[in-house]
Chains A and B, each alone.
Chain A
Amino acid sequence: NAGVTQTPKFRVLKTGQSMTLLCAQDMNHEYMYWYRQDPGMGLRLIHYSVGEGTTAKGEVPDGYNVSRLKKQNFLLGLESAAPSQTSVYFCASSFGQPQPQHFGDGTRLSIL
C-alpha cells in the first residue's frame, strides 16, 4: 500500500517551459489536494478536487491548472513556468470531511 505517490521527485525547468506533476493515491480517497510549501509561509492550497471530474481553486491557483480524470490521479500543470513557482509541491488526499489528509513525499521544483 503506497499511499500517496508523487512523480517526479525533483525537476529543474527554464522559464516559460511547461510540465505536469502527477499524484496518485491507492486509498480510494474522494478528495485530493495540491499545496506548495515555501519558507516562512507554510503550506498553501493551490487547487483541490472533491471527486472524479471535479476541480476547484484554492488559495493560490494562478499559473496552475489541474485535472482529475480518474479518481486515483490528480495532475498539476504549469503551462508557462515562472521563477516565482520555484517551490516544493505536496499532494494530499482524504476520504472526505473532516478526515485527516495523507501527504505524498513532495516534488522539489526549481525554475531558472
Chain B
Amino acid sequence: AQRVTQPEKLLSVFKGAPVELKCNYSYSGSPELFWYVQYSRQRLQLLLRHISRESIKGFTADLNKGETSFHLKKPFAQEEDSAMYYCALTPGGLTGGGNKLTFGTGTQLKVEL
C-alpha cells in the first residue's frame, strides 16, 4: 500500500526566509508525485508535479528515490504563500489503478511579516 507522510502540521516562517515543506512516501514501484496548494477558502490546485521539473511561483521539488522524499522548497517566502500544502502520490505508468491519489495530511504554511 502507498503512504504519504507530511510530518509538520504547521510551519511558520518570516517573509523572505527559506521554506521547506517535507514530504516522505512509501510505495514499492515508481510513483508520480504532486504538490497541491489550497489557499484560504479556495479549491485545491496543482502547484507542481515531479516529472515536469518546473518552478511554479518560485517553488521547486526534487524527487529523491533513495530517501523516498519529495520536499517542497522556496528560497524566499512571500506573504501570499500562506496556504495549506498537500503532497500526493499516484502509481506511475499505466497500472490500471484509476489514477487514485493518496494525500498526506497537509502542512499549513504561515508566512509572517
Contacts and interface: CB of A to CB of B under 8 A. Distances in A.
Contacts, number: 64
B22 to A, nearest CB: 14
Given A50-B98, A96-B99, A41 B46 contact: no
A43 B45 contact: no
A105 interface: yes
A110 interface: no
Interface residues of A, number: 28
Interface string B11-41: 0000000000000000000001010100000
B92 interface: yes
Contacts of A90: 43-44
Contacts of B92: 98
Q: Which range contains the number of B residues in contact with the other chain? A: 20 to 34
A42 B106 contact: yes
Interface string A41-68: 1111100101000001010000000000
Contact of B95 (A40, A97, A105): A97
B90 to A, nearest CB: 5
The 10 closest A-B pairs by CB, nearest first: A42-B105, A98-B32, A97-B99, A103-B44, A42-B103, A43-B103, A100-B46, A103-B43, A105-B43, A50-B98
Interface of A: 4, 31, 33, 35, 40-45, 48, 50, 56, 58, 90, 92, 94, 96-106
Interface of B: 6, 9, 32, 34, 36, 42-46, 49, 86, 90-101, 103-106
